[in-house]
Chains A and B, each alone.
Chain A
Amino acid sequence: MSQARFTRRQVLAGAAATLGALAVGRSAHAKGSVTAAMYPGTWEEAYRAHVVPALKKAHDVDLEMTPLFAVDQIAKVQAARGAPPFDAFVLDPGPRVTGIERALFEKFDAKRLPNLGRLPTGMVDEWGVTVAAQVVGIGYNPKKLPRPKGWTDLLKEPWVSRLGMTGFQTTFGTVSIIEIAKQFGGSETNVEPFFVEIKKVLSKVAAIGAPASMPALFQQGQCDITYTNTQTVATLRGRDVDIEFVKPETGAVAFYTTMHVTRGSKELDNVYKYFDTVISAPVQTALMAPPNNFIPVNRDVKLSRDLPMASLDEMAKYVRHDWSKINPLRAGWIERFNKEVSK
């Protein structure tokens, strides 16, 4: 058998051809497309099923998604320093404030959204548009535990010995701990009472887990009560897990998920088309339906009976937090949480 022999010229030509093909590949996707950061899991699946075809149909724009959690999006754009890896952010309030502080967003021009008039007031500002709401409360297994009334019940028997907790790494974890602290005299900026109270019952707590593993821990019976959002509860119920959502007597917490244009994006037109498609009534209706279970922001959407509110305006009564006050304190809280709960 003869051996294949390559001359230096052939190798160099091959390498150049490969690099050239890569370069062509890059420029080919630039036209008529938008790259958006997207939460992995439910969000990505739902957007792939509903937003991608809707955007293609309405504007002939291809949506490419980069699955990243909110904190990862901020870190990635910050590390990219002016060469954004995606055109649009999707963020919770904490990372949103960080993004504003670190100048990672383009100024937002709400007039470019034809569906703007269908959003309740306060859903758009100079930095971005709200695309979904999240309501945080208590999820519990009604077959194993009596119905809890409020946040303080989490630290009492019989609930505490079946409690699954997460720390300050996530938005829902942070706001829930703040609400627990408030019941014991704390505030948005003072979670000390939470640490005092949790220390008394720490050995009884069933699980203190990674946020991403909490649904699995609940499903496996490792814990039977936890603070969580309505979307997670609905998703677990869709998998036949015994779980019910409880609005704490002091009020459920609401926060909004917003989208922003990445600073330096070259796809401004397509980004606004993407945002407008996301907030359009048909897409918001589809995103609300199981198994997606999003809370919509478009007034034209008829709310499903599974949602904890009868109308979007009701959310104004829910507990809200000021993340510009929380963010500077969060690093200290995380450190404290590590020290208090670690064995």
Chain B
Amino acid sequence: MRPRPAEWQLALPLGLAYAAFFLVPLLLLIVVSGFADEKITTPGLTQWRKFLGDSFTWKVIFDTVKLGALTVVATVLVGYPLALVCLGAGPRVQRVILFVVILPLLTSVVVRTFAWIVILGREGVINHTLLWLGVVPAPLRLLQTEHGLVIALTQIEMPLLLLPLLSVMSRMDPSLRDASAALGASRWRTLFRVTLPLSLPGLVAGCMLVFASATTAFISQFVIGGNRLVYLPLLIWQQSLVVYNWPLASAAALTLLVSVGFGVTAIAAVGRRSRAYAL
């Protein structure tokens, strides 16, 4: 049905805001990346050639996408069981879990990230515990490593996975799982043939959000990963704010946009295929 004029008019403010604050800057980004010199005077594709012709750039793109993928996997491995616990719990426990999930969103990302320095540091909580238990003879290096960064991002991005997931799960009809059990399916079979397929839309939406957020999380990447781990947001920051090469920074920003776009599209495609398989 064609929407009545009044309906599209309601969407107009948001549409205009998107055009002004997303499309116009995006176009500017594309235009600026088409200049050959830092002072933005001579058109040319020199910066693109320099950026994409460097094998280091491709390593950084790969590492950025890999970081997003690892964070998605870790977040799902920790978050999905938590969502199942929430699904089976009473309303009181559900409220507590929801509060704990939302809690990270209530503090600034800078505070959360610096808290992870205290947790992952050489004299941090994890190393203290491991040394005290005698599990390791010397402190482990957790900061400025990829696994340390993935651990921190898993906690930081967890609400983005759980909120859409819990929202979809809460709308699932519990009688479907009861019916599955009554028909003799084991708990695992019910999980994989009923719960998981029904929760897939929430899971896919959450994974997309986590991927997009983790790959672009400049503060967390730089503060926890340091300079040893180089990702696209760091290159953008260096080129735009330290050396003022805006054409190169624009090329890097567009590359990040395309990389995140590919990642998100891939997650959506996996989601569609899995749903088809499950059904």
Q: Which residue of chain A has its CB nearest to the CB of B234? A: A338
- Given A221-B123, A334-B238, are A216 and B117 also a contact pair (CB < 8 Å)? yes
B238→A169 contact, CB < 8 A:
yes
B241→A210 contact, CB < 8 A:
no
- Given A217-B121, A221-B121, are A71 and B242 also a contact pair (CB < 8 Å)? yes
| B45 CB-CB contact with A under 8 Å | no
Considering the complex, which residues of chain B in the window 222-243 have a beta carbon less than 8 Å from any beta carbon of chain A?
A: 222-223, 226-230, 234-235, 238-243
Contact of A71 among B144, B146, B241 (CB under 8 A): B241
B117→A338 contact, CB < 8 A:
no
Contact of A221 among B122, B222, B235, B241 (CB under 8 A): B122
Q: Which residues of B contact A209 (CB under 8 A)?
A: 144, 223, 226-227
* Most B C-beta atoms less than 10 A away, residue of A75, A98, A166: A75
Contact of B56 among A75, A168, A210, A338 (CB under 8 A): A338
Q: Which residues of A contact B71 (CB under 8 A)?
A: none
B117→A222 contact, CB < 8 A:
yes
B244→A338 contact, CB < 8 A:
no
Considering the complex, which residues of chain A in the window 6-63 have a beta carbon less than 8 Å from any beta carbon of chain B?
A: none
Q: Which residue of chain A has its CB nearest to the CB of B248? A: A331
- CA–CA, A166 to B146, complex, Å? 18
Q: Which residue of chain A has its CB nearest to the CB of B222? A: A210
| B58 CB-CB contact with A under 8 Å | no
- CA–CA, A221 to B123, complex, Å? 6
- Given A210-B223, A212-B223, are A338 and B121 also a contact pair (CB < 8 Å)? no
Q: Count how many chain A residues have C-beta atoms less than 8 Å from C-beta atoms of the other chain.
A: 33
| B245 CB-CB contact with A under 8 Å | yes
- CA–CA, A166 to B226, complex, Å? 9
- Given A216-B114, A217-B121, A343-B228, are A222 and B242 also a contact pair (CB < 8 Å)? no
| B118 CB-CB contact with A under 8 Å | yes
A161 vs chain B, min Cβ distance (A): 11
Q: Which residues of A contact B222 (CB under 8 A)?
A: 210, 213
- CA–CA, A334 to B118, complex, Å? 28
Contact of B242 among A207, A330, A343 (CB under 8 A): A330
| A341 CB-CB contact with B under 8 Å | yes
- CA–CA, A300 to B48, complex, Å? 54
Q: Which residue of chain B has its CB nearest to the CB of A205? A: B228
A207→B235 contact, CB < 8 A:
no
Hey, what's the 0/1 contact readout for B205-226 against A, CB within 8 Å counting as 1?
0000000000000000011001
Q: Which residue of chain B has its CB nearest to the CB of A333? A: B243
A331→B230 contact, CB < 8 A:
no
- CA–CA, A343 to B244, complex, Å? 25
A220→B238 contact, CB < 8 A:
no
- CA–CA, A168 to B239, complex, Å? 12
B227→A343 contact, CB < 8 A:
no
Q: Which residues of B contact A334 (CB under 8 A)?
A: 238, 242-243
A241 vs chain B, min Cβ distance (A): 12
- CA–CA, A216 to B143, complex, Å? 12
- Given A75-B240, A220-B123, A221-B123, are A167 and B227 also a contact pair (CB < 8 Å)? yes
A220→B228 contact, CB < 8 A:
no
A341→B114 contact, CB < 8 A:
no
Q: Which residue of chain B has its CB nearest to the CB of A76? A: B241
B48 vs chain A, min Cβ distance (A): 16
- CA–CA, A331 to B47, complex, Å? 13
- CA–CA, A167 to B238, complex, Å? 11
B114→A210 contact, CB < 8 A:
no
- CA–CA, A339 to B146, complex, Å? 17
| B104 CB-CB contact with A under 8 Å | no
Q: Which residues of B contact A217 (CB under 8 A)?
A: 117, 121, 143
- CA–CA, A39 to B118, complex, Å? 25
- CA–CA, A213 to B227, complex, Å? 11
* Most B C-beta atoms less than 10 A away, residue of A168, A213, A339: A213
7 closest Cβ pairs, A-B complex: A221-B123, A220-B121, A331-B243, A209-B226, A342-B230, A208-B227, A210-B222
User: Which B residues are closer than 8 A to A by beta carbons?
Assistant: 56, 59-60, 114, 117-118, 121-124, 143-144, 146, 222-223, 226-230, 234-235, 238-245
Given known contacts A216-B114, A220-B124, A222-B122, what 7 new A-B pairs fall within 8 Å (CB)?
A: A71-B241, A75-B241, A209-B227, A213-B114, A217-B143, A342-B56, A342-B227
